[in-house]
Structure 1
Amino acid sequence: MYTLAGDPVYAVLSVVPFVASIGVGLTGIGIARGQFVPPRFVDRVLLWMVAGIIAVASLNAWIMAGVLLHVPWSPAFDPTGELFSVIPFGVLLGVLVGIYDARRLDQQRSIRRLNRINETLRIATQEIVNVTDRDVLARAVCERLVSSDLYDGVWIGQYDPDDGAVNPVASAGLSEAYVESIDVTTDDAPTGRGAGGRAIKTGEIQRVEDVYADPSMKPWWDMFERLGVESLAVVPIAHDDTVYGFFSIYADRPEVFDERECEVLSELGDSIGHAVTSIEARDRLAERERELARQNERLEEFAAVVSHDLRSPLNVAEGFLDLARETGDDEHFDRVESALARMNDLIDDILTLARQGDAVDEFERVVFRDVVERAWSTAGTSAASLRIDGDLGLVSCDRSRLRQLLENLFRNAIEHGADDVTVTVGPTADGFYVADDGPGIPESERERVFDVGYTTAEGGTGFGLNIVREIADAHGWSVSLVESEDGGARFEFASVDVAARESDAV
């Protein structure tokens, strides 16, 4: 009787299940390591393996049943062994189908996610186009990204190249305490070697698929653990060669940011950088427009002065000159000289006021006491006295314009006070003051004294205190008028950069 036991074909076929088993084992190892399918689809592949076993075993049982109906039974035939011999084929079939199914689902999931990302970023880009404020822009981006449910937290940091740090300016999905504790730098310290520091230095997006597997993220591991952060991406905000900062995106699961998603996020970073550049350009243009408006206002004031204040002494001079011609009396020439002197004073003040409109570009540290004494030597009188209250220290300023400021204050005190008026100059917590013991200025008039043309002194030009305010503004200082301890006027200047006192100066 012929049997298959000695048939070489049968011998080869009998080895196939063993080879299939080895293949299934290797495939299983690859799946466990995440080589064939993402970890989230492993369970689905296992179900397909069970289904494959059931399908192949059922098919084999059906075939054996048909064979047994037409072929006589042989004691050498082992139906159980035959049934179990096809299990590796069922497993292999299930694995192949499972891998295909998992990849298909993963691709569909990636497409849906990418579509949501594109839609979110499209809306975010539309929202930032017309934003005119950087803080509003930062908040809008953070809120839009978190509201999409794609990410768990976002914060935007502004890069300060002077101190090499990135300071948070907006966030969403993160606690205020966490945002305040963020410490990211761009130096060689541990806080500068993380993804944030790398993004600033390279200008390229940095993605961290597993924050706990990246040693450079160790300074923030404790914070990430409290927040449940598993992966992140840091996207630089830049335009041309200028890096403004970055936005950092957190996710509560690893391996979130694939290559295509990073490309889209980089495009958003470029869009934000372009928006910031536009905002800064608009701010500069608006400041220029305000400056032009201030200049036009000064021109109108000058025109009013030229047409009115200069015309009055000019008419006086012309009138007394005619009288001198008619009468030959030399006294009339004295009146002409007085009117011309008045015109000269007005012209000097107008020119000074015109020059004070520009901001101070170059500051120098000067010994304040020296500037005060030089100004007094020009504007003071023998009857009046100057008192310096304490150590005035060093002041960062434009020396010439600060002297002009002091000269105008000294003249104002002398013109409105008694002949023996005392003027005091002293330091304050954030600047200095100039006070006198004259009659003072009523509280209701203190805001008006800085207006062009305001004066209560006979023969005053009405420009002196306006020049004082213009010089203070040009330095970035604020000036206020209060009553002095002696009942006179006290002008206080704040936001002044006062360095070491004279005794500490070298």
Structure 2
Amino acid sequence: DIIWERDVETNDIRLSEGIENTFGYPADQEYGFDWWQEQTHPDDEAGLKKQLHQAFEAQQERLQQEYRVQRADGSYAYVEDTCHIIYDTDGTPTQMIGAIRDITEQKEYELQLERQNERLNEFASVVSHDIRNPVNVAVGNLELAADECDSEFLDNAANALTRSEYLTGDLLTLARSGKAVGETTPVQLQTIAKGAWGNVETATATL
């Protein structure tokens, strides 16, 4: 972690040795608040300034922000910056004392999950189109065939298509939720076995 202190009037800041260990900047060098803002990612800068201005206006004593900071090697780190703001009797901010924590690993993991969920959503869309459409066509043709003849094979085919629809629906739900299977529910093994048996070719074998 990096402990820091800012004189709001002069804009001077003092940084602990963590600045060198975490971001690669010399710990024995003097820095200003303007310099720190220059290291902030351009996409984060405007939002941070707005949050700080609102905190000063409301005389907020605690402020926590997340943003990206450029390391000495040019790469960016995600940080969580928590500070305490001190005001004078007129309500003017005079001093800020805070701590910066590197949360890059955590944020990269979150971004990885987001990308994974996006891929799962794309997969779900493909499943919905490429599997459900042929199943719907098969169901329609099966209904037409049932009007012309009566056969147990048609019933077997209808049951198999119904099961395919259920499985596809469950798969879509799981993919779009972006979560692993959580709680389980007890089932009757005999019922499951009979259902599976009825959806495969068993020749003369019996269950």
TM-score (norm 1): 0.19
Bigger RCO (CA 8 Å, 6+ sep)? 2
| TM-score, L = length of structure 2 | 0.40
Task: Report the structure, 1 or 2, having the larger strand content.
Answer: 2
Structure with bigger gyration radius: 1
More helix by share: 1
